[in-house]
Structure 1
Amino acid sequence: MTIIPKFQEITLPMLKLASDGQVWSLADAREELAKHFQLTEEELEELLPSGRQARFANRVAWAKVYLERGGILSSSKRAHFQITERGREVLQDPPEEISIKFLSQYPEFQEFRSRSSKISEGGSDDETTDTPEETLESGYLTIRKNLAAEVLERVKSCSPRFFEHLVVDLLLKMGYGRAGGGSGERVGQSGDEGIDGIISEDRLGLEMVYLQAKRWEGTVGRPEIQKFVGALHGKRARKGVFITTGTFSADAASYVQTIDPKVALVDGKQLADYMIDFGLGVSLARAYEVKRIDTDYFEE
């Protein structure tokens, strides 16, 4: 199985492309490099965790940047490049890989790294195989994963009554009820017939979403879901959401795909992710903006 090459594995093949002396567009280079590495469509479409850029495209772009900073490629216009005299010299006796360590022999690259790099804890940045975006997103995902675990533990430690209020608040945060002028309320109590909350999606209450909240450690199986579906039938309801701090069995997940009313299952991991995404029970600690050059501004 082909693995998407790291950006330092792309640098030498990119330089060899430019050995013809022509001006290459980044788009044409990506296409040729994809053929060189025999990448599949699936691999070419794999996105960074942010979902905003293809991983391979990101690595090709950074391979170009690093070669330019080392004076091996030059760029006369945006998203284009061509070989320099230094690049031709490199190809006369090419290394196995044009790595960060190799590029560090050039003063221009040393200056670039001293301005823009951050040495990661536990190792030299000469050893990195990730692009800056990948490093940033990897750090973000680690922070988010730890936060999600902490959120879920806090939710598990709260009272059943608080948890019922929480799931109602979450659905409202997600836009259910408010978009159509509706509302939400906790109704969990003795004799609630398995309904812990209700979201009214419109002012007249014609569209209702019924909720069940189970603050469980274990796995919720099909029998529990069937009880909830029975309660929905008793309300003549068409929509239900079953939220648990635990997990759902495969049988429970397959069961809800075949029934009417529609029932959405939200397990503990999804619950924590939704709370983070919609700002429930969490607050902003710090924000970073990643900006790009505005080429339009510099047009003369």
Structure 2
Amino acid sequence: MTSEKTPTTDEFRPDVLRVLADGQVRPFRDVHRLVADLRGLDAETRAETIASGQPRYVNRIGWACSGLRYAGLLERPQRGYYRITEDGQSVNRRNLSIYSEEDMLEWPKWANYQAEIAERRQTTSPEPSGMHSAAVPSSGATSEASIEELMASSQRSYNAQTETILRQRLQESSPEFFEKAVIELLWAMGYGGAHGEKQHMGQSGDGGIDGIIRQDALGLSSIYIQAKRYANTNRVGDVEMRNFIGSLMAQGAKQGVFITTSTFLPKAVETAEQARHSTIILIDGLKLTRLMLDYEVAVQKAHEYTLFKIDEDFFDSEAV
């Protein structure tokens, strides 16, 4: 238990599996009510809230459902509804009282999910607002530097998780949806200019081009887009890259962007770099979702926090 009366997320996970063990599809509002009743949470505990005003127990049960889903122990047939899977049933039969994130590493889906988050956190790309990747002091000191580092680290962890979930959501979407999403991203990045146009192709007979962004009113400068909504294990290879280059040549195109939710095989990268008639930019799943956060496509800001420091100039005036 924590210093509050509300059980932890780790303690709630077995409860979530228990209330869904009958295999029924249930909305989250029923799940958190049933879990609270199973736990026998009193009125005082149910009244505890977090900063947003949401009941703390509801928030933690929500995180429990989310984690179980990404471990493959729950599935979500539709938004806000959950159902237990066979793997979830096997865990439920253990009659656990606690099930931690470390425990869930026994499931490959969760292990891969956590590995991707760790990889994203280690990325050396510049971070917004001058935040850096210095280690958070473990001494418990509350200096201005350590607090800023703690908040920066927390932001990186939270956003890395959001990026990872976003990539999974894109992989679960339809090919048409994904094609439109990447066009919206490039448009948000400013490639359409003030008088440009965006066009979704993505149909049979499109010549291997999924979208076009015309960067001026006359369409004299255009970016041709290929979008592949691939699973992690399906990497873009040399054949797909050569087909894209052929499509660009057929269009007389000078600029191409190849975007995938997975990654590129080394030979595909080499082929793109050696293209003679076009400049081809490759964007893999990690970079794609990082850009989507940077340009706020398919995401929205959840929270903003303000840190205050002493205005030394104000006090310097006292000596005048």
Shared fold, TM over 0.5:
yes
CA–CA distance in structure 1, aligned partners of residues 214 and 304 of structure 2: 34
Provide the residue aligned with 1:273 in structure 2. 290
Shift of 1:299: 3.4
Letter in 2 for 1:269: L
Matches within 5 A, 1:278-297: 278-297=295-314
Provide the residue aligned with 1:155 in structure 2. 170
Provide the residue aligned with 1:243 in structure 2. 259
Conserved in 2, the CA contact under 8 Å of 1:183 and 1:201? yes
Provide the residue aligned with 1:145 in structure 2. 160
CA–CA distance in structure 2, aligned partners of residues 242 and 296 of structure 1: 52
Provide the residue aligned with 1:204 in structure 2. 218
Provide the residue aligned with 2:209 in structure 1. 195
TM-score normalized by structure 2?
Answer: 0.54
Identity among equivalent positions (%) equals 36
Distance change in 2, residues 1:206/1:153 (3 Å): same
* Long gaps (5+) in structure 1: 1-45, 63-98, 104-112, 118-129
Provide the residue aligned with 2:35 in structure 1. none
Distance change in 2, residues 1:248/1:49 (3 Å): same
Q: Pick one of 215, 231, 245 that aligns with 2:229.
A: 215
Shift of 1:142: 0.9
CA–CA distance in structure 1, aligned partners of residues 167 and 195 of structure 2: 30
Conserved in 2, the CA contact under 8 Å of 1:221 and 1:248? yes
CA–CA distance in structure 1, aligned partners of residues 125 and 182 of structure 2: 31
Shift of 1:239: 0.3
Shift of 1:295: 3.3
RMSD, aligned α-carbons: 2.9
SS in 2 for 1:184: strand
Provide the residue aligned with 2:39 in structure 1. none
Distance change in 2, residues 1:223/1:148 (3 Å): same
Provide the residue aligned with 2:84 in structure 1. none
CA–CA distance in structure 1, aligned partners of residues 227 and 126 of structure 2: 34
Shift of 1:296: 3.3
Letter in 1 for 2:207: E
Shift of 1:277: 1.1
SS in 2 for 1:219: coil
SS in 2 for 1:220: coil
TM-score normalized by structure 1?
Answer: 0.57
Q: Pick one of 270, 277, 294 that aligns with 1:254.
A: 270
Conserved in 1, the CA contact under 8 Å of 2:131 and 2:152? no
Q: Which has the higher contact order (CA 8 A, sep 6+)?
A: 1
Conserved in 1, the CA contact under 8 Å of 2:292 and 2:299? yes
Shift of 1:49: 5.1
Provide the residue aligned with 1:183 in structure 2. 197
User: Is 1:299 the equivalent of 2:299?
Assistant: no
Matches within 5 A, 1:28-47: none
